Amino acid sequence: MINTVRAEVITIGDEILFGQIADTNTAWIGTELTNIGIRVIRKSSVGDQKEAILQVLAEAHQRADIIIITGGLGPTKDDITKKTLCTYFGVGMVRNETALALVTGFFEKRGREMTDLNRGQADLPANAVYIQNDWGTAPGMWFEHQDRVYISLPGVPFEMKHLMSNRILPKLTAHFQTPIIKHKMIRTVGIGESFLAERIEAWEDALPDHIKLAYLPSFGGVKLRLTATGADNTLLDHQLAEQVTKVMPLIEKNVYGFDNEEIETVVGKLLLEKQLTLSIAESCTGGYVSAQITKVPGSSAYFWGSVVSYSNSVKVTQLGVLPETLEAYGAVSEETIRQMAEGVRKALGTSVGIATSGIAGPDGGTPDKPVGTIWIACSTEQRTVTRLLKLGQYRDQNIQLTTMYVLNMLREEILNQ
């Protein structure tokens, strides 16, 4: 029996507490640690104050085997992580020659002059194992202290990710014996959390003890996450697959994908499989649908382009919407959305066209068409389908929800092909 290896993740920086930057690092670290069978038991953020940092380190020491610290490694005066780690470990600061060579090379390569602040980035607590950062001048550091591993990383996301992926995760896997934790995510759309729960209640109650279920609601869909813990990789995979097979008949119509498959990845795969090409006409979503589609590497194989038609003149000249349709029914109408989807498909010469037009808010609503009134459409060579959405009052949310719905409409229409 292998003991659970427990990790805590600590972010340092007033800007996180004050909400001036969003923390995307710890979610990423959580996923990576989970994947190698390390259990994240707590995440904490504290400000750039020595006492607060010392306290959270001491607390984490009581609970965790691994303590990962991000942030506070910049060259400027408000960054105090290294000094505080010296106090915590009871050691002095030492200039690391390898680190110094790297910082020097970094500046030489870019033809920039180096400052004393930059040189200071090569100073490390004496007990640190230096972990080379190929993407910036802040060092990675690994400490072993009273049977715990402490890791300090820069807060800049791409530097942190590079250090974790290439240096830290392999070192952790070598250092610890970890149990196996496997996840399976089932992604649903078009059904609320409590209805989903009722529909699968008997199945949920019959889950074995080592498999846990969680409901993760988000915009436009609920994800079901199964987590299995054990010692045998193949067995766990098999047991998870078995549970998926059992539950699928109950929810099949609402499932669009598994694990990390975002809906834009799912529709991309379907378009490729069926050898279809896609174009998009966006009004109220303003480019967001296209941005989601093109986030996917390789999307140029099936996505040809979009027209973001914010003004009516662009709807007419680029998409061929009839001025008399706009005149008679308005830009937010079934007649217009139909012409937008058909128009973009023809103008860009693709097999499928999708379209959005509505009132995202906060302004522009009328008694007839309040904020949140949004039409979506999908046009193929066979037919054009349209749908009216009645969403809420928040602009961001309306844009995101509309995107989810129109991509799901696209998915359903491709499956009908």
- CA atoms of 267 and 258, how far apart (whole Å): 13
Q: In the bound complex, what is the minimum distance in angstroms from residue 43's beta carbon to its own copies?
A: 4
Task: Output 126 or 295, the one with its CB closest to its own copies.
Answer: 295
Report the site for its own copies in 291-330 (rule: CB under 8 A). 291, 293-295, 297-300, 303-311, 313-314, 317-318
Decide: is 209 part of the binding site for its own copies (CB under 8 A). Answer: no
Stretch that binds its own copies, among 45-53, 165-173, 245-253, 332-340 (CB under 8 A): 45-53
Closer CB to its own copies, 23 or 127, in the complex = 23
**Judged by CB under 8 A, does residue 43 bind its own copies?**
yes
Q: Decide if residue 204 touches its own copies (CB under 8 A).
A: yes
Interacting residue with its own copies among 3, 4, 31, 275 (CB under 8 A): 31
**Residue environment code for 28-41, b if the CB has 16+ CB neighbours within 10 A, otherwise e:** ebeebbbeebbbbe
* Eight-state DSSP code of residue 300: G
| CB closer to its own copies, 127 vs 228 | 228
The set of long-range contacts for 315-318, using a CB threshold of 8 Å and a minimum separation of 24, is 315/283, 315/340, 318/347
DSSP one-letter string for 84-126: HHHHHHT--EEE-HHHHHHHHHHHHHTT----HHHHGGGEEET
Nearest to 39 by CA among 161, 181, 151, 205: 181
Instruction: Indicate whether 388 belongs to the interface with its own copies (CB under 8 A).
Output: no
Assess 54 for contact with its own copies (CB under 8 A): no
Pick from 5, 37, 44, 150 the residue near its own copies by CB under 8 A.
Answer: 44
Q: How far is CA 329 from the centre of its chain?
A: 39
Q: In angstroms, rounded to a whole number, what is the distance separating the alpha carbons of residues 357 and 334?
A: 9
Q: Does 117 bind its own copies (CB under 8 A)?
A: yes
Asked if 366 interacts with its own copies (CB under 8 A), we say: no
Task: Please pick, from the candidates 4, 165, 173, 194, the single residue that binds its own copies as defined by CB under 8 A.
Answer: 194
Residues binding its own copies: what is the number (CB under 8 A)?
A: 103
Q: Restricting to residues 341-360, which ones interact with its own copies according to CB under 8 A? A: 347-349
Minimum Å distance from CB 61 to its own copies? Answer: 14
User: What tokens appear for 180 in the block?
Assistant: 């196996």
CB 153 within 8 A of CB 160: yes
d(CA 165, CA 161): 6
* 34 contacts its own copies (rule: CB under 8 A): yes
Stretch binding its own copies (CB under 8 A), from 14-22, 231-239, 265-273, 380-388: 14-22
Site string for its own copies, 235-264 (x = CB under 8 A): ------------------------------
Q: Is the dihedral of CA 187, 193, 195, 199 positive or negative?
A: positive
Asked if residue 357 lies in contact with residue 284, where contact means CB atoms within 8 angstroms, the answer is yes
Residues near 131 by beta carbon (within 8 Å), at least 6 away in sequence: 139, 140, 141, 142, 163, 167, 168
Q: Are 278 and 303 in contact (CB under 8 A)?
A: yes
Q: Tell me, rounded to whole angstroms, the distance of Cα 149 from its chain centroid.
A: 27
CB of 91 to its own copies, least distance (A): 26
Site for its own copies, residues 138 to 157, rule: CB under 8 A: 156
Q: Nearest distance from residue 127's CB to its own copies, in Å?
A: 26
Instruction: Tell me how many degrees the CA angle 43-46-47 measures, rounded to the nearest 5.
Output: 155
Encoded one letter per residue, x for contact with its own copies by CB under 8 A and - for no contact, window 76-115 reads xxx---------------------------------x--x
| Interaction of residue 269 with its own copies, rule CB under 8 A | no
Q: 340 near 321, Cβ under 8 Å?
A: yes
Nearer to its own copies, 91 or 261 (CB): 261
In the complex, least distance from residue 60 CB atom to its own copies, rounded to whole angstroms? 11
Instruction: Establish if 118 lies at the interface with its own copies (CB under 8 A).
Output: yes
At a CB cut-off of 8 Å and minimum separation 6, what does 58 contact? 88
Partnered with residue 134 across adjacent β-strands are none
Nearer to its own copies, 194 or 416 (CB): 194
Per CB under 8 A, 290 contacts its own copies? yes
